[in-house]
Amino acid sequence: MFSKKNTTRPFEDQSSVEFFTSKADSSLFMFGSHSKKRPHNLVIGRLFDNQVLDMAEFGIEKFASMQEFKARLYTASGIKPCLIFSGEFFEENDENKRIKNLLIDFFRGATVEKISLSGLEHVINISAVNGKIYIRSYRVLMKKSGSKTPRVELEAMGPFLDLSLRRTRLASDDLFKRALKKAALAKAKKKKNISHDALGNKLGRIHMTTQNFGKLQARKLKGLKRKAPVDKAEKKQTKEGNKRKKVTDADSEM
Amino acid sequence: MAGKQTVVDSVLAQNQTDEPKFKSTHVENAELVEIDEGLLLASNENKLDLKEFRQKPEEILKNLARDATQVLFNSLWQLPVEKVEGHFLIKLPEIKTWLPREKPVPKKKAVTKWQEYAKVKGILNTKKSRMVWDEASKEYKPRWGYKRANDDTKDWLIEVPVNADPMEDQFAKKKTAKKERVAKNELQRLRNIARSQKSKVPGVGLTPTEQPSKEHLEKALAIAHKSTASIGKFTDRLPKEKPSKYTGKKRKFEPSIGNLKSEKEKQLKILDIHSKKIPKIDVTKAANRALRQEEEERSKAAEKKSRKTPKKQRGKKASLGLGKSGGKIRKGGGNKKTRGKRRM
């Protein structure tokens, strides 16, 4: 996409980074470079309102690619990883906290509401020991544990990175606070005549026209029939008497 | 429910320690791991044993990650599960960690001109009911729209007003009036959009009026002249017609080649002015300034004479005539300039 060899130095001049990210409409960027002064350089940063918010520069001291691991246990791309942070470094001061926040933002993947339990198969472990940051990525293997929750085992998947922190350019607290501002959520419109009870059942109130009980169709019963005029009724009774006899005869034969 | 589940899990986990068929899900020091389920994030601030770490770093990192992942999974498995097409889905809770947003909070919608005016005037919306009683059909009908109540568009007879032209079609008049109202509304909507985007608001042009003024007619004529495909280039003019005030002036440039003499003169004139450096005198402005100064001096002198009451008593008391001496009381009116003039 950007094939020209533009001189891009994120720490000296942010404009080119801001231009590229605005073209791609992305708020996160990672920039790799190599020079005599700063060999194997990696810059991770994020933007707010098309302007660089936080940036951290790392030197790569050791790198192991995915191909170097014998067990080729690749996860599907675009999967949401589990993030593990360890080491007291990330809680030492505000700057380190911000770097942790940046790394979370960078690696967290898509924001999802629901996630499949079987889809939790990628773990990124970021630990800081003795002034170095170790990024390790593992594949999760779920084993039987005898209970509902599985026993977790990890298998190295790669890539592995050993990083040392170089320069940082973090946003002022004022700007960061502005970036944290949350929009007042659009109030959900109140739905009329719908309520929920304690058991989680949905109840609705329906308005209907008044019912005409005169036309109500109840169960048909002979006894509830309107009486016919007298002379016709007599004839009917005799007929019905005959019928009953027949039925009783048939029953006795059986 | 969740509490019970944990009890069951722990009992099961204990059973496993008795017969180690499976490895357990129990993690030591699980309380020290902070978890944010919404982000699938677990953070452990424990200090590492450096000596051990130097000997076998990879193993230690892996064990740390495994334990933290196990703690995370233990808490994820407690979340409510839903089965969709053979997959067990969990609903992730809200994110606890504060993360900055990508774009600033969207701005509020710009107020329309009417809303602005209503706010200044303190006009509040009064909610009107949707349904209105319709006298003709004796039932409630919507206030506007299809099958509306008291629909005057459905009138089959319209009374001709007293002053109106008897030959005028009242139905057509009503129709055009409605069309004009709709057009005006649309125009105002577009103007509001233009205003909110801070772009140039288009002019209204000419709106129809009952009794057009002379100026209005002149404007209309100027617009009519220009409203041809060739922007009025071939429009016939009346004899002795003055050029319109409402047509813009065209820029005219000097020819780039031609009259050298006049060009030379112009340039020399500019040079002459600059060399002399005499500031241009605006005679009227200077005269006005001198006059005002004189006036001020005179009024000051007059005030000094009239000021007999002590300074404290001036004001309301003095004006009411309560002061000891009934000196001249300045009768206010007009602005500073006119006050001075009246006294003269």
How far apart are alpha carbons B72 and B38 in whole angstroms?
Answer: 11
B303: pLDDT strictly greater than 90: no
**Out of A19-28, A191-200, A237-246, least confident range:** A237-246
Global pTM exceeds 0.80: no
- Looking at mean pLDDT, say which of A226-235, B290-299, B315-324 comes out highest: B290-299
Q: Which of B5, B41, B102 faces A48 most closely, judged by CB atoms?
A: B102
Which comes out higher in pLDDT, residue B145 or B331?
Answer: B145
Question: What is the structure's pLDDT at B329?
Answer: 47
Average pLDDT over residues A218-242: 64
ipTM: 0.73
CB proximity B56 to A under 8 Å: no
Residues 6+ apart with CB under 8 A from B50: A129, A130
Q: What are B229-288's pLDDT values in tens digits?
A: 998 889 888 888 888 888 777 788 877 887 888 889 989 999 988 888 766 778 888 888
Which residues numbered 41-60 in A keep a CB inside 8 Å of some CB on B?
46-49, 53
Alpha carbon A31 to chain centroid, angstroms: 28
- Chain B contact probe: residue of A75, A117, A120 with most B CBs at under 10 A: A117
CA distance readout (Å), B31 to A237, B35, B43 = 89, 10, 11
State the pLDDT confidence band at A133, using cuts at 50, 70 and 90.
very high
Enumerate the residues of chain B whose CB falls inside 8 A of the CB of residue A150: 25, 73, 77
Question: What is the structure's pLDDT at A64?
Answer: 94
Give the whole-number percent of chain A exceeding pLDDT 70: 87
Q: Which of B43, B66, B97 faces A152 most closely, judged by CB atoms?
A: B66
Q: What are B21-46's pLDDT values in tens digits?
A: 788 888 888 888 999 999 999 998 88
Q: What are A69-88's pLDDT values in tens digits?
A: 877 778 888 899 999 999 88
Closest-CA residue of A relative to B72 is A82
Q: Are A44 and A16 in contact (CB under 8 A)?
A: no
How distant is the Cα of A170 from the closest Cα of chain B, in angstroms? 13
State the pLDDT confidence band at A190, using cuts at 50, 70 and 90.
confident
Question: What is the structure's pLDDT at B114?
Answer: 92
Which comes out higher in pLDDT, residue A190 or B297?
Answer: B297
Which residues numbered 64-103 in B keep a CB inside 8 Å of some CB on A?
64-66, 68-70, 72-74, 76-77, 81-82, 87-92, 97-103
How distant is the Cα of B112 from the closest Cα of chain A, in angstroms? 21
State the pLDDT confidence band at A182, using cuts at 50, 70 and 90.
confident
State the pLDDT confidence band at A187, using cuts at 50, 70 and 90.
low
Question: What is the structure's pLDDT at A62?
Answer: 94
Question: What is the structure's pLDDT at B91?
Answer: 92
Contact A118 B105 (CB under 8 A): no
State the pLDDT confidence band at B152, using cuts at 50, 70 and 90.
confident
Judged by DSSP in three states, A77 sits in coil
Judged by DSSP in three states, A73 sits in coil
State the pLDDT confidence band at A59, using cuts at 50, 70 and 90.
very high
How far apart are alpha carbons A96 and A90 in whole angstroms?
Answer: 5
Judged by DSSP in three states, A230 sits in helix
CB proximity A110 to B under 8 Å: no
CB proximity B27 to A under 8 Å: no
Contact B70 A151 (CB under 8 A): yes
Map chain B to HEC letters.
CHHHHHHHHHHHHHHHHHCCCCCCCCCCCHHHEEEEHHHCEEEECCCCCHHHHHHCHHHHHHHHHHHHHHHHHHHHCCCCEEEECCEEEEECCCCCCCCCCCCCCCCCCCCCHHHHHHHHHCCCCCCCCCEEEECCCCEEEECCCCCCCCCCCCCCCCCCCCCCCCCCCHHHHHHHHHHHHHHHHHHHHHHHHHHHCCCCCCCCCCCCCCCCCHHHHHHHHHHHHHCCCCCCCCCCCCCCCCCCCCCCCCCCCCCCCCCHHHHHHHHHHHHHHHHHCCCCCCHHHHHHHHHHHHHHHHHHHHHHHHCCCCHHHCCHHHHHCCCCCCCCCCCCCCCHHHHHHHHC
Nearest to A154 by CA among A138, A165, A170, A168: A138
Eight-class DSSP state of A49:
T
A48: pLDDT strictly greater than 70: yes
Average pLDDT over residues B300-306: 81
